[in-house]
Amino acid sequence: MSKNEIVVVGAGIAGLTSAAILSKLGLSVTLLESHTQSGGCAGTFRRKKYIFDVGATQVAGLEEGGIHSKIFKFLDIPVPEASILNPACIVDLNDGSKPIPIWYDKNEWIREREIQFPGSSKFWQLCTLIHKSNWTFANKNPVLPVKNLWDVSQFLKALVPTNLITGILLKSTIFDLLRICGLSNDERLIQFLNLQLKLYSQEDIHNTAALYGSTVLQMSQQPHGLWHLKKSMQVLSNALEDSLKKTGVKVIFGQKINSINFDDVKKSWKVSAISNKKNFDYYADDVIYTPPPQSLLKHLENSLDHNHNYRKRIKSLPKPSGALVFYSALKKEHIKEITSYHYQVVSDELGSLFISISEEGDGRAPKGEITLIASLFTKTNEWIDLDQRDYIEKKRDYLQKISNALESQFDIASENWLHKELATPLGFERWTNRPNGIVGGLGQNPDVFGLFGLSSRTPFQGLWLCGDSIYPGEGTAGVSQSALMVSRQVLASKGIYDFNL
């Protein structure tokens, strides 16, 4: 097998994007994916007449200057067709109070906030100030956390004077901001923030880093915004695959890598994969690894035997959540009139349910029908350790509970479901090879966010991490930023210091 400059493991958005950037710059890249299709957590699957988005349903970073747009422009491929979400979501606390639409229009959102959370404007203004400072910094593509002099130089280049002020908040949480603004007892605001933050940072107000939370709380508004892709989420991956075809990347599906070892004779990394009981070896100077870092414990076993500290570091990462996702379809006339494609509702029995409803005619369901996807977080060990009988029973029970919650929320008669099924952490493990079906990367608490996070630069020269456990975190926009960062690091390691978007 001839040697590549780069082997990328995983054709989710992180792997596709880093492979696309590096090959566009002329490096020889092979991309290995265990599944038969690309997309990972942002992929889709077909069932009967329907196309379901597996995980991600909303996309950030498609606006002019947003991370996806910047990368697509660099790759010289069209940005997939999408519409802005306005509102991005309607949050229904189900406590008898009016649901909270999160408007795209900035002024409309400010007015809504004042009605919904009287007296909270100081908190939002503080978040806006922090976010503006964060955004100027993030737009210059800093490297975080810093591990060598080049990383430090990129970090310093990105700093703006306001970062020195917001830097005081490095170890603060969203709760600290509420306290500063005298809102630490505002229960309704706190419930709303807890729901929203859990979606984007996997943590609540007490554990979400103030610097991270301030930004994610403003992603739905101008000049950013969240988008709904026409046809399906798969168009994002397909567009990146088109770029890979143009630049001659070898994309190999259906091969599951099972080990990565440094070959001392060949002086390169050897990535071993298996497909239909056949073994395949690939050699490369650099490996970009996009499965969750926890998978390294298996794939990098031999190298970790010589670096106990790194093994300890990976083992001590906070445990990410799993997800339960309900995929369903029904006739549009059989659901009450909806005014948003996304809802977050509180259910007494299930906690927070995040709901995505397809736009009629957007390609996900036949005319007159819609798909409805509802997801909630779950602890993976509550599913993985069950014997088969208990697992089947628990799955049936949750399918029913989620159906009931949706029927009552949207006035759906139980006989009107045209399709319904549930994915558990076991399903996510099968689909994405994520150990135990963990999803969404590391929770963004101050101890693992930004400077204190897991670095893309590993202690093993030429082995790089990328994806939703690496700065800046989860989401297709987040992992694209991480792909850009790792691509710049790889290039710098080869003496190309000045590539940036």
Ligand X SMILES: Cc1cc2nc3c(=O)[nH]c(=O)nc-3n(C[C@H](O)[C@H](O)[C@H](O)COP(=O)(O)OP(=O)(O)OC[C@H]3O[C@@H](n4cnc5c(N)ncnc54)[C@H](O)[C@@H]3O)c2cc1C
Give residues in contact with ligand X (CB under 6 A): 9-15, 32-35, 40-42, 55-59, 256-257, 290-291, 295, 323, 325, 375, 432-434, 439-440, 467-468, 474-476, 479
Residues written for the chain: 501
The CA-based angle 231-53-81, given to 5 degrees, is 30
CA distances from 185 to 120, 122, 173 (A): 11, 15, 15
Q: Rounded to 5 degrees, what are φ and ψ at 345?
A: -125, 150
166 or 290: CB nearest ligand X: 290
Q: How far is the CB of 253 from ligand X (least distance, A)?
A: 9
φ/ψ bin of 96: left (φ > 0), alpha (ψ from -120 to 50), beta (otherwise): left
- Please give the Cα distance from 182 to 92 (Å, whole number): 25
355 or 439: CB nearest ligand X: 439
- 313's CB contacts (< 8 A; 6+ apart) are 454
- Please give the Cα distance from 21 to 24 (Å, whole number): 5
Q: How far is the CB of 90 from ligand X (least distance, A)?
A: 15
Q: How far is the CB of 153 from ligand X (least distance, A)?
A: 26
- Please give the Cα distance from 466 to 14 (Å, whole number): 6
Q: How far is the CB of 166 from ligand X (least distance, A)?
A: 24
13 or 177: CB nearest ligand X: 13
- Cβ atoms of 346 and 188 within 8 Å: the answer is no
CA 457 to chain CA mean position, Å: 20
169 or 224: CB nearest ligand X: 224
| Helix (H), strand (E) at residue 45 | strand 44-47
Closest CA to 18 of 199, 174, 244: 244
295 or 340: CB nearest ligand X: 295
Q: How far is the CB of 30 from ligand X (least distance, A)?
A: 12
Q: How far is the CB of 139 from ligand X (least distance, A)?
A: 18
Q: How far is the CB of 122 from ligand X (least distance, A)?
A: 29
183 or 345: CB nearest ligand X: 345
Q: Tell me, what amino acid is at 302?
A: N
- Please give the Cα distance from 197 to 124 (Å, whole number): 14
469-491: b (≥16 Cβ within 10 Å) or e: bbbbbbbbbbbbbbbbbbbbbbb
- Beta strands 278-289 and 268-275 are antiparallel
Closest CA to 206 of 230, 247, 227, 178: 178
The CA-based angle 338-339-342, given to 5 degrees, is 85
89 or 183: CB nearest ligand X: 89
Q: How far is the CB of 274 from ligand X (least distance, A)?
A: 9
52 or 262: CB nearest ligand X: 52
Q: Rounded to 5 degrees, what are φ and ψ at 77?
A: -130, 150
150 or 377: CB nearest ligand X: 377
Q: How far is the CB of 467 from ligand X (least distance, A)?
A: 3
- Please give the Cα distance from 202 to 214 (Å, whole number): 14
Closest CA to 418 of 501, 330, 482: 330
Q: How far is the CB of 187 from ligand X (least distance, A)?
A: 27
What does the DSSP 8-state code read for residue 345? Answer: E
Q: How far is the CB of 59 from ligand X (least distance, A)?
A: 6
- Please give the Cα distance from 70 to 62 (Å, whole number): 9
